[in-house]
Amino acid sequence: MSCFSCFSSHERRASKKYRGSKQGPVPASSSLRDPSPQSRPHNRTQPPLHQPPNEHSGKATTEATNNKAVIAAQTFTFRELATATKNFRQEYLLGEGGFGRVYKGRLENPDQMVAVKQLDRNGLQGNREFLVEVLMLSLLHHQNLVNLIGYCADGEQRLLVYEYMPLGSLEDHLLDLPPGQPPLPWFTRMKIALHAAKGLEYLHDQANPPVIYRDLKSSNILLDREYNAKLSDFGLAKLGPIGDKSHVSTRVMGTYGYCAPEYQKTGQLTVKSDVYSFGVVLLELITGQRAVDTRRRSEQQNLVTWAEPIFKDPTRFSELSDPLLKGDFPRKNFNQAIAVAAMCLQEDASIRPLISDVVTALSCLPVEPDTRFNSPVSTPSPQSMINAESHKSEMLAKEREKAVAEAIAWGSMSRNNSVH
């Protein structure tokens, strides 16, 4: 069966409801932020985490709190986290943004490396976003979501303690690389894309109630030493529509260049908004270019706008390849990844695939080089095994070639129909 056969039936399931992720609030009338150039329980004097009524977290989160849902996150004092980060030394700084700063730290008991996010009291992420993130990550658990270890709410201090991801963010390894830093290999890029999609799939299809992430971007995808990817920053997370509602109306928040056009224009949020953002990240992985980069020529500053005409012409697909890869990737897999990105980036949200369909499609792409035929010549191998392996390889090649053809045809037809 083709990996893309499910895309032609994207209307067969009702879109589920969900929440989003972090990054400062922006009024609907304002422009979004420009992304262009990251144990132990203590029951002391920490205030309890009460859920105030707010549109940001949604009814289900309020109900969970009213029912005294158990919050698994540990509490820390400010002194403990200051000790862990050596009083927030500059050399321990991992990154900063609208929310504040993230530091590397080491807990004493148990001995554990952590990342400590100190919220800027005058920054874009306020107390509501802090509360939402604690609630979200305490109740959501998946191998492709960052693990929240605990929090601090001493006085006016607001800090979050996460598992430490030693390789930092995808942005650090993909965009604006310094001289001498090798680019991410193609197969690693597809592995990261698959993991990010699986994280979204959990939020959309397995979390109960479903969650909209709302701020998917390369800087919010963190990597461990094996380049396993996890979604982070859930301050903007939002519960999806309830009952027969098709969307959630909310303030426009997120990062310019990653937000779905219908959400940016109307404030109407659906699961397909996350799918669009994923398409932008996948396009960044393919091209090695930022979603928005004002340093490029005017027609290339917005990555999606520049890529859209190329999506319609498969003979131009090579223009989308990251020049740092120097063509070191399987051409068929490259074309298939472009087809997936094009589908996710449809301007009409109803035409975009569900994230579960995206996971199915990306699962067809190898995440490591095929070394089955690279064994030394001296290694003996029965002729029957060679024949069987060769036949299997031919079948896989034909299946992937068919899938690519179907995906490209489907994407082109959908785009042409949307134009008319």
Asked if pLDDT for residue 73 goes beyond 70, the answer is yes
Whether residues 154 and 207 share a domain: the answer is: no
Whether residues 173 and 108 share a domain: the answer is: no
What pLDDT band is residue 134 in, cutting at 50, 70 and 90?
Answer: confident
> What is the 8-class DSSP label of residue 343?
H
- 111 lies in a domain? yes
pLDDT at 367: 82
DSSP run (H or E) holding 230: strand 229-231
- Contacts of residue 382, Cβ cutoff 8 Å, sequence gap at least 6: none
Asked if pLDDT for residue 356 goes beyond 80, the answer is yes
Q: 46-60, 185-199, 391-405: which has the minimum mean pLDDT?
A: 46-60
Whether residues 223 and 135 share a domain: the answer is: no
Residues paired with residue 96 on neighbouring β-strands, in sequence order: 101
More confident position, 27 or 316 = 316
- Give the pTM: 0.73
Asked if pLDDT for residue 397 goes beyond 60, the answer is no
Whether residues 69 and 16 share a domain: the answer is: no
pLDDT at 127: 72
- Quote the radius of gyration of the chain (alpha carbons, Å): 22
Q: Which of 163, 192, 221 is the last residue before a domain boundary?
A: 163
Mean pLDDT along residues 345-353: 95
Whether residues 151 and 178 share a domain: the answer is: no
- 342 lies in a domain? yes
Q: What tokens appear for 361 in the block?
A: 């499609």
Asked if pLDDT for residue 377 goes beyond 80, the answer is no
The answer to whether 215 is a known catalytic residue is: yes
Asked if pLDDT for residue 62 goes beyond 80, the answer is no
Residue % of the chain over a pLDDT of 70: 65
Mean pLDDT along residues 88-108: 87
Whether residues 138 and 221 share a domain: the answer is: no
Question: Among candidates 3, 20, 17, 58, which has minimal Cα distance to 401?
Answer: 3
The average confidence (pLDDT) of the chain is: 77
Whether residues 157 and 216 share a domain: the answer is: no
- In order of 25, 107, 116, 221, 402, the CA distances from 343 in angstroms are 28, 44, 37, 21, 17
> CATH number for the domain including 92?
3.30.200.20
pLDDT at 175: 95
Catalytic residue among 215, 274, 293, 322: 215
More confident position, 188 or 18 = 188
Q: 6-20, 35-49, 154-168, 311-325: which has the minimum mean pLDDT?
A: 6-20
> In whole angstroms, what is the distance from residue 17 CA to residue 263 CA?
15
Asked if pLDDT for residue 61 goes beyond 70, the answer is no
The annotation places the binding site at 117
State the burial class of residue 407 (Cβ atoms within 10 Å of its Cβ: 0-12, 13-18, 19+): buried
Phi, psi of 306 (to 5 degrees): -70, -40
Whether residues 252 and 390 share a domain: the answer is: yes
Helix (H, G, I), strand (E, B) or coil at 42: coil
Whether residues 112 and 218 share a domain: the answer is: no
- In order of 60, 272, 273, 356, the CA distances from 248 in angstroms are 14, 12, 11, 21
Residue % of the chain over a pLDDT of 90: 47
Instruction: Name the residue range of residue 306's domain.
Output: 5-21+168-419
pLDDT at 256: 83
Mean pLDDT along residues 65-75: 58
What pLDDT band is residue 137 in, cutting at 50, 70 and 90?
Answer: confident
Most distant CA pair in the chain: distance in Å? 73
The annotation places the binding site for ATP at 117
Mean pLDDT along residues 253-280: 89
Domain count, the chain: 2
Phi, psi of 50 (to 5 degrees): -95, 145
pLDDT at 235: 75
What pLDDT band is residue 236 in, cutting at 50, 70 and 90?
Answer: confident
> In whole angstroms, what is the distance from residue 409 CA to residue 420 CA?
17
Whether residues 79 and 222 share a domain: the answer is: no
- 155 lies in a domain? yes
Contact 92, 106 (CB under 8 A): no
What pLDDT band is residue 173 in, cutting at 50, 70 and 90?
Answer: very high
- In order of 29, 146, 157, 273, 274, the CA distances from 265 in angstroms are 9, 30, 35, 12, 15
What pLDDT band is residue 362 in, cutting at 50, 70 and 90?
Answer: very high
Whether residues 314 and 216 share a domain: the answer is: yes
Q: Which of 163, 182, 208 is the last residue before a domain boundary?
A: 163
Whether residues 131 and 201 share a domain: the answer is: no
Asked if pLDDT for residue 327 goes beyond 90, the answer is yes
- 305 lies in a domain? yes
- 310 lies in a domain? yes
More confident position, 198 or 397 = 198
Mean pLDDT along residues 67-94: 83
Mean pLDDT along residues 328-335: 95
pLDDT at 5: 45
pLDDT at 50: 44
> In whole angstroms, what is the distance from residue 250 CA to residue 260 CA?
14
Helix (H, G, I), strand (E, B) or coil at 302: strand
pLDDT at 286: 98
Q: Which of 163, 190, 211 is the last residue before a domain boundary?
A: 163
Helix (H, G, I), strand (E, B) or coil at 90: helix
